[in-house]
Amino acid sequence: MLERDFLSQDQLNQLARELRPEIVKSAKRTFVKSGESGCSHSDAEDISQQVLLQMLTGARMLVSSWRPESGLSLVRFAGLVARRRTLDVLRRERVRRASDETRQEEIAADCDPQRELEQRELIAKVELALREQLSPLGLDMFARLYTRQQAVAEICQQTNLSQAAVYQWRTRLRKLLQGLIKDRVS
C-alpha cells in the first residue's frame, strides 16, 4: 500500500507507470467527447500529455486526496481527475481562442478602408452642422472639450467661465452631437 504523506522517487515512478495509461485514456476520451471541432489527434495527444504532467507533478496531492472508501480504485480516481483537468484545459483553450478571434476581428475592423472613409465623412458632416448651429463661443467650447479634450478646470482658468457654465456647455454639446449623429446615421 502507498504511504499517503510521503512518496519516494521510486514510488512516484511506479505510480506514474501505473496511472499513465488511465490518465491518457481518460483525457483523450474526454477530449473526443467534448466535440472540439478542428482539433487533430495530435491536439488530443498534447492535451492528454499536459494533463498527465500536471497530475504526476502533483502525484503526492493526488494520492492524499484519494479515499479508498469512495469505492474507486486509485487508477479510476486518477481517470476521474484526468477528465476534470482535461475539461479545465479545454475551457481555458476555448476562452483563449475566443479572445484571439475577437482581437483579430477588431484589428480587421480598424483596417477597413471603407469604414474609415464612412467615419471621416460622418465627422465632416457633423462638423459642418456644428458650424451652422453653434455660436463662436459654442465652437470654441466644442474644440476645447471634444477636440483638445481639455479638463474643465483648465477651460475655466483660460476662459473665465464658471465650472457650472462649462458643464452646461458640455451637456448641450453632447446632446447636440447625439442628435446630429442620430440624424446623419439614419
For the chain, 186 residues long, give each residue's pLDDT as a single digit of tens.
444 446 677 877 787 788 888 877 887 788 778 776 555 667 667 776 777 777 777 766 777 777 888 888 888 888 888 888 878 878 887 788 777 777 777 666 666 777 777 777 877 787 788 888 889 998 899 888 888 888 999 999 999 999 999 999 999 999 988 888 777 655
The residue among 110, 140, 169 that closes a domain is 110
**Do 73 and 140 belong to one domain?**
no
- 185/181 Cα distance (integer angstroms): 6
Q: List Cβ neighbours of 59 (8 Å cut-off, separation of 6 or more).
A: 7, 12, 15, 16, 19
**Do 129 and 93 belong to one domain?**
no
**Do 28 and 83 belong to one domain?**
yes
- 109/158 Cα distance (integer angstroms): 39
In a domain, 17, yes or no: yes
**Do 24 and 85 belong to one domain?**
yes
Cβ–Cβ < 8 Å for 83, 26 = yes
**Do 96 and 64 belong to one domain?**
yes
* SS3 label, residue 72: coil
Residue that is written with C-alpha cell 504526476 in the block: 56
